[in-house]
Structure 1
């Protein structure tokens, strides 16, 4: 299990490379949900998501030989962007493997940063190709199955604990589980009574299915939310979530897109559905815990284009 010592050490290492993103009360979301809401705006991070933290933490931990070999990352979008940009900043060659369903903007940004981008037919194929490239000598920067990466993501939780007021419930999106593992470890250490809720979208339910099965299992992927679409969680992230997280909630793709539109309208922030899914989940949390709840949202990323959002809104009949 990752502890606060590892997370605090990561915070020291990455401090000059990442942004301490704002933690702000949101009057608009508070009015919308009927309870006080504080948002950690990680969409304002370098590369547009929290992924920059774990990526640079891992890159800074590599030996000279590992850096010289070049790195490889597998990603549904945001991790690939983060590795490409942060590797370029550290003068490390990078290869990013993505499924063809990854957002076109993610491919473009990674290539512009100097990464060699390889596309696979689906996420399973992307992970398989990454394994082959690693066997050929590239150094893996895994999106979630790495204690150094998890500690880097956990710095979000340290900042949230330091900067937010009194919170009762914090919601965090789950793909492979690296962010929620690190955030939960940090928050539960600093604020032992706090409840942590994970959120997934239907068709990207790797953690929910792992919890039901008693350990990581392969899952079918059908969600539009590629940035949450891990084919399985890892034993490491499963253990953190099973020990530290109150429950994992699952919302539909339609609800996640609606949540992104609501965040734009009421919080004045532009998010991807991987963050939009937090709003419908927050409504369920409030129904369960009742009066007195004070909600925290880790707004994890904003790497969706206006074209993406228009297409999704049209698909689901949303205005």
Structure 2
């Protein structure tokens, strides 16, 4: 792992750097589930998702004069909200380019943090963000393909391993790969007995296909918008994250849309936790095959769910 762009030392340093702003989220026993399942409740972060870890770390790592010029990113929601929060905490401007298909609750929450939000077609959001960067002299904080972002995300794995011993499996939702890359580096360095398993929707399984083929496989961007798990609609895993995933992740499993919604409903009813579809992927995978994972930790990556989607998951609407 020495040639990877992120080390466990980077993650340890990030843990110290972000401690004043990021919540050390609880690791909760899921006694209602079969087997031995624990939940890492990242939906309890101030912005409702793990993304705050990477955004705070990346912005704090910037030189003061660079940071003062402001930051820009592109995001379907949670990373944008995290960058807006971290930028406000640092006293700098933030521009967030969001896809026109983004969940309204995420768009409004990002605006409420004082960021300028620019809506763009989903397939053009990176291009628009890069144009803003060039025109305004801002620094781009990518949603996943950045060493400082990955290091920040990996801090949650250090917390898991400090709070619980003898873990067989950590189940992690996968979009662009920033979270699972950080988790993979930390777990592989600190707990050799623990395997890392990624979870994708079957309708956006580019990372699964990439691992199977030994190279990055890009899905049609519009095809990924079929999944309700909006945080995983990235059509291709990152250039930086992919080799880390290859080196540290045992496998990628997929879940279907019905199982995702069922997991959201189960978490609300049984665990009293609100998880968005992307955040519930890990629990959906565990509930499908609990005997496969042994003593497992499921990362609940976010809880920013549109009310109509939550109502649907709870069976309150057709």
Give the secondary-structure state (helix, strand or coil) at the position aligned to 2:118. Answer: strand
Matched, 1:232 2:236: yes
Runs of 5+ unmatched residues, structure 1: none
Moved more, 303-312 or 134-143: 303-312
CA distance in 1, matches of 2:114, 2:190: 39
Q: 1:305, CA displacement in angstroms?
A: 3.2
Equivalent pair of 2:230/2:277 in contact (CA under 8 Å) = no
Match of 1:243 among 231, 247, 252: 247
CA distance in 1, matches of 2:284, 2:247: 24
CA distance in 2, matches of 1:52, 1:117: 18
CA distance in 1, matches of 2:132, 2:44: 32
Partner of 1:43: 43
Partner of 1:7: 11
Partner of 1:28: 32
Partner of 1:156: 156
Runs of 5+ unmatched residues, structure 2: none
1:312 to 1:297, Cα distance in 2 relative to 1, 3 A: closer
Moved more, 305-314 or 226-235: 305-314
CA distance in 1, matches of 2:250, 2:97: 33
Equivalent pair of 1:23/1:160 in contact (CA under 8 Å) = yes
Q: 1:285, CA displacement in angstroms?
A: 4.6
1:35 to 1:287, Cα distance in 2 relative to 1, 3 A: closer
Partner of 1:169: 169
Partner of 1:71: 71
CA distance in 1, matches of 2:169, 2:67: 40
Equivalent pair of 2:199/2:254 in contact (CA under 8 Å) = yes
CA distance in 2, matches of 1:196, 1:284: 17
CA distance in 2, matches of 1:131, 1:218: 20
Q: 1:312, CA displacement in angstroms?
A: 5.9
After TM superposition, the runs of 4+ consecutive aligned structure 1 residues lying more than 4 A away are: 311-317
Q: 1:116, CA displacement in angstroms?
A: 0.6
CA distance in 2, matches of 1:118, 1:214: 36
Q: 1:283, CA displacement in angstroms?
A: 3.5
Equivalent pair of 2:167/2:193 in contact (CA under 8 Å) = no
**Alignment map for 1:278-317 (pairs within 5 Å):** 278-288=282-292, 293-311=294-312
CA distance in 2, matches of 1:267, 1:176: 27
- Across the two proteins, how many residue pairs are aligned to each other? 309
Moved more, 87-96 or 63-72: 63-72
Give the secondary-structure state (helix, strand or coil) at the position aligned to 1:248. Answer: strand
Give the secondary-structure state (helix, strand or coil) at the position aligned to 1:249. Answer: strand
Q: 1:286, CA displacement in angstroms?
A: 3.2
